[in-house]
Amino acid sequence: MKKRTLYFGLAVLSGVIVGFLIAAKLDFLPKLESQVVKQEVSLPSENLKLEDAVVNVANTTGKAVVSISTEHVEKMGNVKRYRFGSPFGESPFRGEDPFQKFFDEFFEQMPQRDFRQMGLGSGVIIDPEGYILTNEHVISQADKITVKLPDGREFKGVVKGRDPRADLAVIKIEARNLPAATLGDSGNLKIGQWVIAIGNPFGFAMDNAEPTVTAGVISALHRSLGRVISRDRDYSDVIQTDAAINPGNSGGPLVNLKGEVVGINVAIFSTSGGYQGVGFAIPVNNAKRILTQLIEGKKILYGWLGVTVQDLTDDLAKYFGLPNKDGVLVSKVLGDSPAQKAGMKESDVIKQFDNKPIHNVKELLSTVAKQEVGRKVKVVLAREKKELALEVTVGERPQNLEEEAGSIISSDYTWRGLEVEDLSPQRSRRYGIEEKEGALVVNVEPESQAERGGLIPGDIILKLNKEQVKNKADFDRITKALKGDCLVTTARGIFLIKERE
């Protein structure tokens, strides 16, 4: 029995030795070892360079980023009129409105109290003497501004200059020898380039003065946020990044890996209010252009023509006999405006402005806005299939340009999918419509020629094939005799409705 056990043990040992010898002969173990070594050194050296750059930016430019806390006080109570009108629109009651009486009696008995609204944002020091660049919306309507430096010191901030349209402002604190950031060149940015967003989200709430950094890439350039988001602010040329921008980051800098400021963080696009990988920044070149004026407290002026314009479609370009869609269609010329004084007319197509080709509306608005007010420029137009040159004196853009609005009501006559009604004085007042004459679009049938042409409920039709439309009767009369494609001029723009698709 002992001999059998001994023989069995020797056999197992011999098998193990033979196995190792075979493995060594076939070079299995060295291959396994080499694979392990490759996995350990798989990190590229570029990652190490990026990490060093982010750390360096945090330690340098980060020292110039501040937290901005604002306070706005409103008096509440003892209100004589309720602010938003009757909940049912125009009061159906003649004489005294019972809803108004209720609000008056209720608020009469309430004492006035101070309601404090707190705001939070960031800023970047651009001068050692205490000048700080931030967003205008960060300090808008602020009665008190408090600036906290990364070292924990707090100062009272004073607004030196602001530009609501550009959403930029400069505030000043009484401090010297401060670390200041370097302003870079946003004109050289490239999609995919690494950038770092610096700010102090929730800084005051978390009682931490040190700014935070998030890294990402430039996702897109020359983005437009549109009027729904921007309202009266001009966000028509912003930088998009996936570097995390959270509440409180507004006004902080977006910097490149050299630590140069290339943008001012302005907004996030989110369905939840939190970070979703889409953030925006104002190009720093926009700020550099007006920085001296902001510091000196001067009013920022923007060029203005006084026209409503729109991009051309393939159908419109063909209708006007143009070779392509390059250019901007003038759909309305405002009275007593620089454009009207120069002889510009509705349906003109702007091809050049100040010897620069114009391809679309965005290009025209940007070019005109940057022009010096009072300067005379050459504008090349296409009119009635002929080229025409005008000299326009650039005007100053008014502070508030009113928007037209429409309403939806009922109708009984349909033309190419359009239903219209009279634009009565009562409807004009109720819906804030400036036009006194025209046909109000109240319905657009799905998949109709009108819908494919671009018309929507609320549009105000002013002309059909350049024939004046003062009311629904004019609309009915003209459309019943119309044949072929029709050029429809509205308060919103010019559209081409085809006879058939």
Strand 349-353 and strand 158-163: the pairing is unpaired
- Assess contact for 130 and 49: CB atoms under 8 A: no
Name the CATH topology of 303-396: Pdz3 Domain (2.30.42)
pLDDT confidence of residue 170: 97
| pLDDT for 59 beyond 70 | yes
Q: What is the mean pLDDT of the chain?
A: 79
Query: Read out DSSP for 5-37?
Result: HHHHHHHHHHHHHHHHHHHHHHTHHHHHHHHHH
- Assess contact for 264 and 284: CB atoms under 8 A: yes
pLDDT confidence of residue 387: 93
Q: Class of 182-295 per CATH?
A: mainly beta
- Assess contact for 245 and 200: CB atoms under 8 A: no
Name the CATH topology of 414-497: Pdz3 Domain (2.30.42)
414-497 shares the fold of 303-396:
yes
| pLDDT for 121 beyond 70 | yes
Which residues are tagged catalytic?
137, 167, 250
CA gap 344, 307 in Å, rounded: 9
Q: What percent of the chain has pLDDT over 90?
A: 41
Residues near 151 by beta carbon (within 8 Å), at least 6 away in sequence? 209
In our burial notation (b when 16+ CB lie closer than 10 A, e otherwise), range 144-156 reads: ebbbbbbeeeebe
What pLDDT band is residue 202 in, cutting at 50, 70 and 90?
A: low
Residues near 123 by beta carbon (within 8 Å), at least 6 away in sequence? 65, 66, 67, 68, 132, 133, 134, 138, 147, 171, 251, 252
Hey, which CATH number is domain 64-85+98-172, 2.60.40.2380, 3.40.50.300, 2.40.10.10, 1.25.40.20? 2.40.10.10
CA distances from 370 to 53, 72, 302 (A): 35, 33, 6
Which of 329, 338, 335, 333 is CA-nearest to residue 305? 338
pLDDT confidence of residue 388: 94
pLDDT confidence of residue 123: 95
Sequence spans of domains, the chain: 64-85+98-172, 182-295, 303-396, 414-497
